[in-house]
Structure 1
Amino acid sequence: MPSLLLRRLASFVALLVVVSLVVFVVFDLLPGDPAAVMLGTSARPDTLAALRAELGLDRPVLVRWLSWLGGAATGDFGRSLTYGMPVSGLIAQRMAITLPLAFLSLALALALGLSTGFFAARRPGGRADRFAVVFAQGGMAVPNFWIGLLLILVFSATLGWMPGGGFPGWDAGAGPALRSLVMPAAALAIPQAAVLCRVARGALMDTANEDFLRTARAKGLSETQALLRHGVPNALPAILTIVGFQFAYLVAGAVLVENVFALPGLGQLAYQALAQRDLVTMQAVALLLAGMVVAVNAVVDLVQVWVDPRTRSAT
């Protein structure tokens, strides 16, 4: 196990370096001059040249990437061209909204998706199974931003039960802050719950005719007890794989939902930085999101090795 951890750590670092190079080069190739965006099209050529030198845009791409990578390794992503403050502090402020939103969305998706998939597999062809099939197909077909708009229309504009957007800040208290995240979390969670429902239902049904399930039933266990004790542990590796991808998606895919609900999170920051051609902020956000995806997948791989003993010999 220690050797496996070291191999995973080495591959994580190597992949992150490659991702940082791709991110830096892609954003560097975007059309437009950040200095011209900051100063305007009427700026004098000597003023543009001075700002480009100050931002380091006159240096070769490889030199700028190595300098940026060294700063990123210490948490220094540079200074935002739009907000005039360190990007690391800007990201920390926005992550205080995006991470709780992602965790709340994941909790809702797990509760809804796994319970629906479990009850569907408990009695194939029954009402719960038919509902699960419709929910899985419908949930995966509907975009999360459209679900967000529908939730605002019903629960905010019509019923007035929930705030339609905005974020009061954690200083206002955990209750109001979490209340403003409930509908965005639901909008993100429903499509992911549909995916989880389909995966859990399929994985549990695959184990339904296995010998260990028939033996458990023969010993007097009910269908629910047999699935909980023996079916769920065997379906867990497939479910964990999806959960790992979903958490990365919930963090990286919150751009549209955060803009629908006017949440000042990481997704809205990425959208604003792209619209304002803030190259420094865009690169930092892209690297952070890519790093989170790589890290979550690495953790899921390790958890799967721990959960499923059959994979230990293969690693």
Structure 2
Amino acid sequence: MVESLPGDAAVVLAGDQPDPARIAAVRAALGLDRPLAERLAAWAAALAHGDLGASLVSGRPVTGIVLDALAPTAVLAGLTVLFLVPLSVGLGVAAARREGGRLDRALTTVSAALYAVPEFALAIVLVAVFGVALAWLPPTGLGGLTAAALVLPVSVLLVRPVCSTGRLIRSAMIDVLASPYVRHARRLGLNWFAHALPNALAPAVQHLARTVDWLLGGVIVVEAVFVIPGLGSTLADAVGHRDLPVLQGLALLFAATTVLVNLLADVVSFRLAPRA
């Protein structure tokens, strides 16, 4: 996809209004004059030896660039998932146990409304209100990822997943509570909630795995708005500079994360509800 965009790293590095000869010289120095298939084959061969190559722009090893950007993104994503699970379970179960009641209707309406708000719009509103007008929280992460600086970006990343996962758990919990084995457990005076919750969570685990995939895209918006130097910012810079080695390294990391998270979700789902 990057190859199909106009320009390449040579155009970026050649300076303002470069002549064609200058661009051609930079392109040859970077090896961009070789066919794409040849460059990809060389990259794959180097990858087999653990070498992700070097940035076309800075010359730094891609591994170092990715690792430097990984920590801020890992903190954002980790805190989001950490708060996502209890919030989603709590809201979903509370709504299911009072199906059709005021709490259920209120949670359903509010979650549907918040889910429709784009991340960038929500981020701008929160920054304007809590970061600028009230000055309660840092509007950006330029001062470091302190606890206060993380509140707004994590809140933005939480809203849509909590809304969607909470509604999913609500629906699953309603179905489970109506099942024969839960009704039988109630008649016997057993702890029916302990039987119902794992089976209601099983489908939500798969949804949470897809949420992690969504987070990889959500952090790009959040890191841009809050000026956080993470993987999202690195990806945006690499696309802007047509820095193919960095993009390949990031794509590899994102793909590996997606595969591992989905495998883990399959295992957890089976452990929660082996009969499913």
Q: Distance in 2 between matches of 1:238 and 1:38?
A: 49
One of 212, 217, 240 as aligned partner of 1:252 = 217
1:35 aligns with 2:19: no
Give the deviation of 1:236 after TM superposition: 2.0
SS in 2 for 1:27: coil
3-state DSSP of counterpart to 1:253: helix
What is the distance in 2 between the residues matched to 1:242 and 1:285? 23
- 1:85 maps to 60
Tell me which residue corresponds to 1:276: 241
**CA shift for structure 1 position 230:** 1.4
RMSD of Structure 2 on Structure 1 (CA) = 2.1
> TM-score w.r.t. structure 1 length?
0.80
Q: How far is 1:178 from its partner?
A: 2.9
CA drift at 1:73:
4.2
1:1-315 → structure 2 map (5 Å cutoff): 26-40=1-15, 41-43=17-19, 45=21, 47-169=22-144, 177-220=146-189, 226-227=192-193, 229-310=194-275
Give yes or no for contact 1:184–1:257 (8 Å, CA) kept in 2. Answer: yes
Structure 2 counterpart of 1:139, one-letter code: L
Single out whichever of 63-72 and 49-58 deviates more from structure 2.
49-58
Q: What do the CA deviations read for 1:282-311 (whole angstroms, capped 9, x no partner)? A: 232233223322221122123323333235
Structure 2: tracts of 5 or more residues without a match: none
Matches of 2:124 and 2:4, distance apart in 1:
35
Q: Is the 8 A contact 1:132 1:197 kept in 2?
A: no
Secondary structure of the equivalent of 1:124?
coil
Query: Closer, same or farther in 2 for the Cα pair 1:158/1:226, shift >3 Å?
Result: farther
Deviation at 1:75, TM superposition (A): 4.1
Q: Could you tell me how far apart the structure 2 residues matched to 1:220 and 1:127 are?
A: 28
Give the Cα separation in 1 of the matches to 2:143 and 2:49: 31
Contact kept in structure 2, 1:36 and 1:43, CA below 8 Å: no
TM-score relative to the length of structure 2: 0.91
Q: SS in structure 1 opposite 2:7?
A: coil
State whether residues 237 and 304 of structure 1, in contact with CA within 8 Å, keep that contact through their aligned partners in structure 2. yes
Deviation of the 1:226 alpha carbon = 2.5
The unaligned stretches of length 5 or more in structure 1 are 1-25, 170-175
